[in-house]
Chain A
Amino acid sequence: MKTTTVNVTGIGLWMPRYRDVAAWLEARPDDADLNPLGRALDRSNRRRAGVLGRAIADAAAQALEGAGADPSTVPTVVGSSIGEAATMIGLLDKMWRTTEPMSPAAFTVSVHNAASGLLSISNKNRGYTTSLAADEDTPAMALLEGIGLALEGVGPVLVVCGDEHAPRDLVQDLPQWELLAAGVVVAPLDPSVRAARLHVHALPPEMRDPARILPPAAVDCEFAHSPQVGMLDLVDALARGRSGLVALDRGLGRGYVAAIEFP
C-alpha cells in the first residue's frame, strides 16, 4: 500500500436531472432536478451563488453527509477549470455594450473561489479552504491537494470539482459541455474502516494495464467533454464498488489515474 493511500468515506454528485448519487446509480433522471439547490449553503448564500456554486454545494452536501464529516471544520478543496466564467463574461458583456456601472455583487462572486468562500461562510468554517484549476487535470490535482491535507492529520477533507457549461461564444471551435459537479471526502487510511482505498498518481495511457482500467461513467457527450468528467468517473466507480484504475481525464489531461481498492 502506498504511503499516499487514503480512505474515501463519502461521495456526491450533481448533474442536470440527477440530484444525487442514488438517482445516478438507479439511472433515474428527473426533470424536476434541472437546477441545483445549493444544499450545503445557507439561504442568503444560495441566492448569492451562481449555478456552479450551488451544484458544488449539492455534491458537497452528499459527500459530507455520507462521510459524517462536520461542515464547520472540514478542510475543503474546490476544483474548477473555468470557475465563474459565465459571471465574468456577463460582466464583460455589460462592460463593453453599455455604460452602466458594474454590479459590485456580481463582481464579488465572479472570483474563482466564490464557491469555496460561500461554503466556508455558510458553514462558519474558519479552517482551510482553497480553489484550484488545472484544465482537464483539475480532478487529479484537487485530489492530490486533498490527499496532501489528509495526510497532515487534519481529519477528513472534502474534495469537490465542478464546471458550469462551456462559455459558448468563447469556445465555438471546441466541444461544448454542461454543468456538472462531483466530489469525495478523503480521510487518512484506517485499516479498521470498511471504506474504499484511493491512491492518485501519474500513469500515461501507454503504461496502463488494460485489464485494470475501469469503464468510464456512461454519459452523453455534453458531460464527457466536461473538464471535470474524471471526478464523475471516479464517483461512478466508487458508487458501484469497483476496484481498479480510473483515468482522471478522458484524453486531454496529463495522464493521472486513481487506483481504487475495496476491502
Chain B
Amino acid sequence: MVVPKRQPLLVTGYSIVSALGAGRAEHLAALSAGRTGLAPCTIPLPFETYSGQVRAELPELPPALQARTTRIAGMAALLLEDLAEPLRRARERWRPERIAVLLGTSTAGAESTEDAYRAFVETGSFPRGYHFRYQHTFGAVLHVIAELSGARGPAWMASTACTSSGKPFASAARLMAADVIDAAIVGGIDTLCALTLRGFQSLQALDYGPCRPFHPDRGGISIGEGGAFALVERTGDPRLLVTGIGETSDAFHISAPHPEGAGALSAMRLALQQAGRAPEDVDHVNAHGTGTRLNDIAEAKAIAQVVRPGTPVISTKGYTGHTLGAAAAVEFALAALVVEEQWVPRSLGAGPVDPEIQLDVPTELRRGRFRSVLSNSFAFGGNNVSLLLEAP
C-alpha cells in the first residue's frame, strides 16, 4: 500500500459537545472525576437501554437560517461558538474561499425526518415546518455551518458510518497539499435517533445498561450523540498536530469487524508510517472500544501488535457513549485533552479487564508523558481510520 507523504495538519483550535457537557472544561471535569454521561435513554423505545444524550442548551439559529433548525444544526452552532476565536483569526489570514468545511455524520438530519415521518404515518401529512431539503439532507447542516463560519471553500459530509468524522482530517490534508485550501473546519456531528437505537438492538449489539468496553461481561454499545470540530490550518500557532492518518478497509463483512483486526492494524501502521514514527513512539491509544464482544477482542489483538507493552489503552465510550458518525471527532478531541493535560482518564466500565484483552487498560486516572496518541475508529462497511495526534 502506498504511504502518502503529507505535511502535518496544524490544529489551531477545537471544540467538543457530548453527554459530558459542552467545551473543554466540562469534559476535563467529567473525565478527571471518572463520571459518565450515560443515563437511561429518554427516547421512547420498546426496550430499555442507556444513551449519552447532549444536555447542553443549543443556540437558536439566526433568522435567515431558521428554516434549517434541527438538533444537529443546533449542535453545530454550539461547536462553532466555542471555536469562534480561532475561526476569527483564520478568517483574517485566509480568503473565505480557501477555508473548507469538511465534516462527517452518519445521521445528518435523520432525527427530524424520524419525527416528521411519525406524524405522517399518524396523520397523513408532514408537520408544518418540516422540509426535507432544509432539514434532512447532508447539505442542510453544511449550509448552516458555512453561513455561520464564513467559510466558502469546498464543503462536504463524509458518511462512512462510525469513521465519518475521522476521514475529513485526511481530506483536509489532501486539499492543502493540492493547494486548493489553506484551512478547514474538520470533525463531525451526530444525533440520537430511535432508528439507530432500534437498528443496533436488532443486531444484538446494544447494552441494556451503561456500556463497559474491555470488561469481561460487556454487553454491547451505548449510543451517544455529540460532535467535535477542529480548525486545521496550513500555517499558524498549533495547539497540536495530526501527523498521521491511516485509512483502510477490512474487505470482510458489512457489519462485523475482521476477527484478527487486520484492517484496524493496517490503519494504525499506515498512520505511524505517514508520521515517520515507530511503535515505541506511541504513548497512548484511544481505542474504538465499543463494548461489543467482537470489536474489543479484534481491536485488542491489532493494538497489541502495534504498541509496546505497558502503553495505556482506553475507551472513552463509557463516558460519552458511541457517538457513531461523530465518534472519531469526539475521540480526537478527548485524545487532544490527554496530549494537552498529560493524564489519561480511566477506561470507564473496564474494571476488571477481560483477561482475553492483552493490553494495559488503566482503571484509574494515570499521569505521565503523553505526547503522541493514536485514536481509532472503525465502521460498518469495514471502514477504518486511525489518527496520530502529537504535541507540537
Contacts and interface: CB of A to CB of B under 8 A. Distances in A.
A88 interface: yes
Contacts of A88: 110, 195
Interface stretch (B117-125, B207-215, B292-300, B303-311): B117-125
B203 A108 contact: yes
Given A3-B178, A154-B4, A131 B160 contact: yes
Given A107-B199, A116-B381, A125-B251, A153 B2 contact: yes
Interface stretch (B73-81, B133-141, B315-323, B343-351): B133-141
Contacts of A220: none
Interface string B63-97: 00000000000000000000000000000000001
Given A92-B195, A107-B203, A48 B254 contact: yes
A171 B44 CA distance: 27
A26 B342 CA distance: 65
A131 B195 CA distance: 21
Given A113-B383, A127-B249, A134-B139, A141 B154 contact: yes
A28 to B, nearest CB: 34
A120 B384 CA distance: 12
A135 B195 contact: no
Contact of B195 (A91, A125, A169): A91
Given A97-B121, A148-B175, A117 B97 contact: no
Contacts of B138: 81, 133-135
Interface in B259-287: 262-263, 266
Nearest to B140: A135
Given A121-B253, A151-B178, A153-B2, A141 B155 contact: yes
A113 B174 contact: no
Interface stretch (A30-38, A98-106, A230-238): A98-106
A112 interface: yes
Interface residues of B, number: 68
Nearest to B119: A96
B180 A104 contact: no
B254 A121 contact: yes
A95 to B, nearest CB: 6
B132 A103 contact: no
B46 interface: yes
Nearest to B253: A121
B114 A92 contact: yes
Most buried by B among A112, A135, A140, A149: A112
Contact of B142 (A129, A134, A142, A169): A134
A89 B110 CA distance: 10
23 contacts: A3-B179, A4-B179, A83-B159, A92-B113, A92-B114, A93-B121, A102-B195, A104-B255, A108-B199, A110-B199, A112-B161, A116-B381, A121-B253, A127-B248, A131-B159, A133-B156, A135-B138, A137-B139, A148-B175, A148-B177, A151-B178, A153-B4, A154-B4
Interface of B: 1-2, 4-6, 46, 97, 106, 108, 110, 113-114, 116-118, 120-122, 126, 132-133, 136-140, 142, 154-161, 167, 171, 174-175, 177-180, 194-195, 198-203, 247-255, 262-263, 266, 379-383
Interface of A: 3-4, 48, 81-83, 88-89, 91-93, 95-97, 99, 101-104, 107-114, 116-118, 120-121, 123-138, 140-142, 144-145, 147-149, 151-155, 167, 169-172, 174, 202, 254
Given A96-B117, A125-B251, 18 more contacts: A4-B180, A92-B117, A93-B121, A99-B46, A101-B198, A104-B202, A107-B198, A111-B106, A117-B382, A120-B382, A126-B1, A126-B249, A126-B263, A129-B249, A135-B137, A148-B174, A169-B117, A254-B155
* 5 shortest interchain CB distances as A-B pairs: A117-B381, A135-B139, A148-B174, A112-B159, A133-B138
